[in-house]
């Protein structure tokens, strides 16, 4: 594409966190205080990351199935680009 270039990483760019581990599990919300029958599938994600000092922390969050599928597709695209480097 003319006039479009890929972003370049600065050799001096500082890495803020390093991904140590990635875990996920599929869950099903079946009820809540306000709703007797949810039947709502979700994906729970736990990321283990190390900050520049080496301190490791867990970051957790939940996503809907479509959000997780998009997240997964983006990681596959990243992996494909990395393989070309």
The answer to whether residue 49 is domain-embedded is yes
Determine the pLDDT at residue 10.
Answer: 59
The answer to whether residue 39 is domain-embedded is yes
Determine the pLDDT at residue 1.
Answer: 45
- Contact status, residue 22 vs residue 47, Cβ threshold 8 Å: yes
**Per-position DSSP letters for 8-49, written without gaps between them:** ---TTPPP--EEEEEEEEEEEE---SS-S---EEEEEEEEEE
Could you tell me the CATH number of the domain that includes residue 27?
Answer: 3.10.450
Full-model pTM: 0.65
**CB contact set of 28 (below 8 Å; sequence gap of 6+):** 39, 40, 41, 42
The answer to whether residue 53 is domain-embedded is yes
Q: What percentage of the chain carries pLDDT values higher than 70?
A: 78
The answer to whether residue 27 is domain-embedded is yes
The answer to whether residue 13 is domain-embedded is no
| Domains held by the chain: number | 1
Query: pLDDT by residue (tens digit) across 45-77?
Result: 999 999 988 899 999 999 999 999 999 999 899
The answer to whether residue 34 is domain-embedded is yes
Range of the domain at 25: 18-84
Determine the pLDDT at residue 13.
Answer: 62
Mean pLDDT of 12-36: 81
Determine the pLDDT at residue 25.
Answer: 94
């Amino acid at each position: 594409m003319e006039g479009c270039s890929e972003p370049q990483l600065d050799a001096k760019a500082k890495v803020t966190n390093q991904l140590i581990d990635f875990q996920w599990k599929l869950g099903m919300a079946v009820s809540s205080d306000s709703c007797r029958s949810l039947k709502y599938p979700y994906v729970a994600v736990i990321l283990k990351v190390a900050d520049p000092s080496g301190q490791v922390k867990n970051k957790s969050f939940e996503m809907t199935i479509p959000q997780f599928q998009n997240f997964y597709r983006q990681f596959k695209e990243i992996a494909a680009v990395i393989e070309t480097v």
